[in-house]
Structure 1
């Protein structure tokens, strides 16, 4: 019987993560945020459809709940299922444990791909789990510009979610925080956030 505390192969310090982190202070195009929101539930499914989005990749730890959570709020689970209900293809894409998501029913969990932020991992997730072939029609929703923001390198759009507080590795927390500072420094003016279930935007 496998030990649940064993890290998934994609978790931990990987060269692809280090490489992207070191490049971010000098690469504004790799920090181009489609939206910044305070909570995952603030992302409007109808707004995504209106912008031509067909598929959604969802980070889990720090985005849908605290790190290593095994239970998720009803509002989060409902919003994930709403995205599927309105016609979006949806998959969970995490570098961490992959055996915690029974609440999400038949929403697929991306496995056996290179770790985020490797563009190949995003492309494989898009083809094999979303059944799509155009990265411009896919959005990654996550809390980390280093890992989740790798979607930008893959030609996808990236929605940044304010991290959900919880137990988090100190190194991971520090590098994620610094990457967020880089993104704020490069952001030209302001971003908008969709209010839940509507297409209207509000300034953040």
Structure 2
């Protein structure tokens, strides 16, 4: 039986240098907030699209992605979508910096343990090799709500799908840094779009 307070932190949570370093780099590194896709909810991730793009493995964040922070009960729609991913042959693993003992609903999905915390690239690589049994990061996608931690998959050579965070009992520091990272991503997005449009216009004009 679990007797931890909901606010008890995992050793991988909190202020870690690898998180600080990535957070500070985001305003100057547009490629580090480049998402493969952005979706409102985890259930909106298109499974056929993943398969079409050659994705073989999926790493799933939990808190803020599959449900509220610290929850032990996940929506049926989330569990069903996970099962659909399994049914088509995608290899899945839960990769969270929080405690790993809350996921009984996701039968057959291993929980990544004993790895460096996100966003350390080595943690992603170990999760890929030891839990997904894959060796090509280009065939792996990380699905999460946080550009700082989950977005570390980009540094590891993986693709990153950003999910709009599920509201819940998120501590203030985590909420603030995650929000600031989202602002960085939004700030770079229009510039990328504008550059793309400008290049197309110049191309048509023969520049």
Q: TM-score, normalised by structure 1?
A: 0.90
- By percentage of residues, which structure has more helix? 2
Shift of 1:183: 0.5
- Work out which of the residue numbers 145, 154, 157 in structure 2 matches 1:155: 157
Q: How many residues align?
A: 190
User: 2-side partners of 1:133 and 1:62: how far apart?
Assistant: 28
Q: How does 1:51-90 map to 2 (within 5 A)?
A: 51-90=53-92
Q: Show CA shifts across 1:75-118 (max 9, x none).
A: 00010111111010000000001100000011100000000000
SS in 1 for 2:175: helix
1:189 equivalent in structure 2: 193
8 Å contact 1:8–1:98 — kept in the other structure? no
SS in 1 for 2:92: strand
Q: How does 1:10-89 map to 2 (within 5 A)?
A: 10-89=12-91
Structure 1 residue runs of 4 or more that deviate by more than 4 Å after TM superposition? none
User: 2-side partners of 1:189 and 1:43: how far apart?
Assistant: 22
8 Å contact 1:55–1:138 — kept in the other structure? yes
* Higher relative contact order (Cα pairs below 8 Å, separated by 6+ residues): 1
User: 1-side partners of 2:40 and 2:9: how far apart?
Assistant: 28
Q: How does 1:108-147 map to 2 (within 5 A)?
A: 108-147=110-149
SS in 2 for 1:81: helix
Q: Quick check: 1:4 aligned with 2:8?
A: no
User: 1-side partners of 2:21 and 2:152: how far apart?
Assistant: 11
5+ residue gaps, structure 2, are 195-207
User: 2-side partners of 1:89 and 1:4: how far apart?
Assistant: 31
SS in 1 for 2:54: coil
2:197 equivalent in structure 1: none
5+ residue gaps, structure 1, are 191-204
Larger Rg: 2
Shift of 1:3: 4.6
